[in-house]
Chains A and B, each alone.
Chain A
Amino acid sequence: MRFALRRLGFFAVTMWAALTLNFFLPRLMPGNPAEAMMGKFRGPVTGQALKALELAFGVDTHKSLLAQYFGYLGDVSTGKFGTSLYFYPQSVGRVILDAIPWTLGLVGVTTILGFVLGTGIGILAAWRRGGRLDSIMPPIFVITSAIPYFWIGLMLILVFAVKLNWLPAAFGFDITLTPSLSLPFIGNLLAHAILPAAALLITTIGTWILTMRNTMITTLAEDYVRMARAKGLPGRRIMLDYAARNAILPNLTGFAMSLGFVVGGAILVEYVFNYPGVGYMLLQAVNNEDYPLMQALFLLITVAVLVAILLADIATALFDPRTRSAG
Chain B
Amino acid sequence: MAMLPVSAPAGLAEQVPLAGEPAGRGRPARARLARAVLANRKASAGTVLLALFFIVALIPGVLARDNPSATIYARSLGPSTRHLLGTTALGQDIFAQAVYGTRQVLVIAIGVGLLSTGVAVLIGVAAAYLGGLWDGLLNLLTDILLVIPLFPLLIVIATYVQNSGTLVLVLVLTLTGWSYTARQLRAQALSLRKRDFLEAARVRGERSIYIVVVEIIPTMTSLIVASFLTNALYAVLFGSSLQFIGLGDPNSVSWGTMLYWAENNEALQTGQYLWAVVPGALIAALGAAFALLNYAFDEIGNPALRPVRRTRVKRAR
A interface residues (Cβ-Cβ under 8 A, vs B): 10, 13-14, 17-18, 21-22, 25-26, 29, 33, 138-139, 142-143, 145-151, 154-155, 157-158, 162, 169, 207, 211, 214-215, 218, 250, 253-254, 257-258, 261, 264, 267-268, 271-272, 282-283, 286-287, 289, 294-295, 297-298, 301-302, 305-306, 309
Contacts and interface: CB of A to CB of B under 8 A. Distances in A.
Contacts, number: 146
Given A142-B292, A146-B290, A286 B148 contact: no
Given A154-B280, A254-B314, A298 B143 contact: no
B129 interface: no
A282 B152 CA distance: 8
B46 to A, nearest CB: 9
30 contacts: A10-B143, A21-B148, A22-B156, A29-B160, A33-B162, A142-B292, A145-B291, A146-B237, A146-B288, A148-B287, A150-B244, A151-B280, A151-B283, A151-B284, A155-B277, A158-B273, A169-B269, A211-B314, A218-B307, A250-B311, A257-B317, A258-B317, A264-B151, A267-B151, A268-B245, A286-B247, A294-B159, A298-B152, A301-B152, A305-B149
Contact of A162 (B148, B241, B268): B268
A254 B311 CA distance: 9
Nearest to A27: B160
Contacts of B290: 146
A294 B241 contact: no
Contacts of B311: 250
Nearest to A300: B152
B147 A306 contact: yes
Contact of A268 (B244, B269, B288): B244
A264 B263 CA distance: 22
B291 A154 contact: no
Contact of A271 (B237, B245, B310): B245
Nearest to A18: B148
Given A29-B161, A146-B287, A267-B155, 15 more contacts: A10-B140, A13-B140, A13-B144, A25-B157, A142-B42, A143-B288, A146-B291, A154-B263, A155-B280, A214-B306, A214-B307, A214-B310, A286-B155, A301-B152, A302-B148
Contacts of A298: 152-153, 155-156
B259 interface: yes
B246 interface: yes
Contact of A158 (B155, B160, B162, B268): B268
